[in-house]
Chains A and B, each alone.
Chain A
Amino acid sequence: MKNGKLILLIIIFVLLTSLSLTLAQPEAPREREITIEAYKFAYNPEIIEVNQGDKVTIRFISTDVHHGLYIDGYELKTDAIPGHEGEITFVANKTGKFTMRCSVTCGAFHPYMISYLKVKPDYRLFGSILLALILFLSSIVLMVRKER
């Protein structure tokens, strides 16, 4: 019966975690202005975080050569050269992590010039972690049942 107890414990743990995740309250939306600096071959800041519903304005500055900024998923684009800024304004209605990448060939590591836009709360991540836990539990339940 040792196994039964262990499984029960794990199920309770999973239920509690998923409960706390679903209860996590998103913050109220607001306006944000974020400055992103581009240089060969990265962005500063490396990761920007906003909340769902925020109205985001990105001021895009290049410190060396011609760089671009393309936001995956939102499919928005701007570019900048030193002295000329770019700008993107959008409402962050999609949640999750979105890769932002350079859209102007700027040198050897250009395709790897990347930063992240994280729009909270990340339901997708919660969901996928939950699915992984479900797989874990079902494999254990199946194994225990099969071995009986």
Chain B
Amino acid sequence: MKDKILGIFPLDWRYDITSLPYVRSVLKSRWVPFLIIVFNLFFFTIILMAGVVGGVSAGNYNFAIMFVWILWWVMLMLVFVPFFSRIWCSTCPLPAFGEWIQRLGFLKVRNKLFGLNRKWPKQLKNMWLMNFLFLGTTYTTGFLTTRPIATFILLMAIILGSVVLSTVFERRSFCLYCCPVSGFQGLYSNIAMTEIRCKDPEVCRNHNVSTRAKALGCDYQQRDCVRGNENGYACPWLEVPFNQNRRNTYCGMCFECFKTCPYDNMAFNLRPPATDLVLDKKRGLDEAWKAFMMLGIAIFFFLIMQGPFGFLKDWANAKTLAGYLSYISVHSTFNLLIFPGIFFVFSYASHALGRTELPLKRVFINFSYTLVPLGLMAWIAFSVGIIFANGSYLIHVISDPFGWGWNLLGTANFPWTPFMTGMVPYMQIGGLLLGLALSLDIGFKIARQTFKNRDEAVMGFYPIAAFLTVTTMFLMWLFTG
């Protein structure tokens, strides 16, 4: 019997969007995604300027804060990542300068990249650095979302960081292993309902490479999509595009492989949600921790931004140094130790009940991926709580981006208008229950992978299912009760 997600969508169902007319030729054009990057660059220039000159002390009347933290962040969680994987990275203007410097140009292809092109250190080829950089960024959440200049500093740090690292390390090493918003996009894009994979593995297998290369066992490095050619660059994200057993995590959706493949064998697929989570490949503690931290941070962000406790807001706002240090230590301890610790207890129970020969560590890592759907839904619940209440500020700031008293679109005096706030709790509950259903479903499939025998799988699944259910109940209570 074929496996299905939620008992509805067959795991291997795919629809190639590029089979529609024009889509492939658009993706093969060197103007895509270049033009969108240029447009976003213009937009982010306004954001950066607003971060400096739009000096309204209250963040809700600042263009930079509103567009970055209300619109962009919410779009990432609500639309981009769940539906289109890392499509944002495809159009992100922040590392563009670094990439253009490497390529010494905008549109032409020049496969010899400028810079030192060093290999990224092996020990850092994982999410740990991004985990800590992201955690570090959350320490400043009280400033980032309320003080325009803090947003300016963060964006500039990303831009400068990517320029510097691009000249030292090969291709998109910065995006792969440093960008603070890269890790969660990578992890949560496992759920995405789209992917970039090769169309027909048989074509890739027969893709003509020299017999010598084949004999040397390095033939895959000779394929156009891996090596680059006159039409496009070698995968900037260091993926092996034609590898069918990869996850969305590190594919930046730059579409270079569409341009390089001489057989038009790359596909942009629609697929059932969360299929990558079932793939038993390259799972690791770094991604497990990312999953714990993201869920924990969603809880903290909710308490700070949508909770009633003034002392927490004072902590995050650094009203007193002691308060700020308490925030940092409670926040870090919970996300790095306590929450993973609780999950460890449940994995221990699963390991004991399931009586598998596999090491406990494997069980712990495998099941940590069940937190991905629930975690994304927690972020979605958090995001709808923000956007419906505060989205109307966007209408104001778009007319007066720099706080200079402009009224570009005639909406500068648009009052604060909360929208459908009575419905928000129902959306949050609906989202979280959907997250639970997906998480349970993935847990169930991972249990069967992890425990080879059926009775053990059932026993090993109980504690994890209980953990997911209790966590969902807690989140529903936190958000809506």
Contacts and interface: CB of A to CB of B under 8 A. Distances in A.
B476 interface: yes
Nearest to A94: B422
Interface stretch (A26-34, A52-60, A69-77, A82-90): A69-77
Contacts of A70: 418
Given A47-B308, A139-B443, 20 more contacts: A43-B310, A75-B422, A96-B481, A105-B58, A108-B146, A111-B59, A111-B390, A112-B305, A112-B313, A114-B308, A115-B308, A128-B429, A128-B476, A132-B436, A132-B476, A135-B437, A142-B7, A142-B444, A143-B447, A143-B458
A3 interface: yes
B57 A107 contact: yes
B436 A108 contact: no
Nearest to B65: A111
A108 B147 contact: yes
Given A131-B433, A132-B469, A122 B481 contact: yes
Contacts of B454: 147-148
B173 interface: no
A11 interface: no
B202 to A, nearest CB: 32
Nearest to B385: A99
Interface of A: 3, 6, 39, 41-44, 46-47, 70, 72-75, 94, 96-97, 99, 101, 103, 105-116, 118, 122, 124-125, 128-129, 131-133, 135-136, 139-140, 142-144, 147-148
B441 A139 contact: yes
Chain B interface residue count: which class? 35 or more
A72 B385 CA distance: 11
A72 B422 contact: yes
B422 A73 contact: yes
Top 10 closest pairs, chain A to chain B, by CB = A42-B310, A72-B421, A73-B422, A46-B308, A108-B146, A147-B454, A125-B481, A139-B440, A136-B469, A115-B308
A132 B57 contact: no
B457 A147 contact: yes
A42 B458 contact: no
Interface of B: 7, 57-61, 142, 146-147, 304-310, 313, 317, 385, 389-390, 393, 416, 418, 421-422, 424-426, 429, 432-433, 436-437, 440-441, 443-444, 447-448, 454-455, 457-459, 461-462, 465-466, 468-469, 472-473, 476-477, 480-481
Given A105-B58, A108-B317, A114 B458 contact: no
13 contacts: A3-B458, A42-B309, A73-B422, A105-B60, A107-B58, A109-B313, A111-B305, A125-B480, A129-B477, A132-B469, A135-B437, A135-B440, A147-B455
Q: Is the interface of B mostly helix, strand, loop or mixed?
A: helix
Contacts of A125: 476-477, 480-481
Contacts of B425: 96-97, 124
A140 B461 CA distance: 8
A34 B436 CA distance: 38
A81 B7 CA distance: 57
B28 to A, nearest CB: 43
Contacts of A42: 308-310, 313
Contacts of A114: 306-308
A105 to B, nearest CB: 5
A105 B469 contact: no
A125 B457 CA distance: 32
A135 B433 contact: yes
A99 B313 CA distance: 16
Nearest to B308: A46
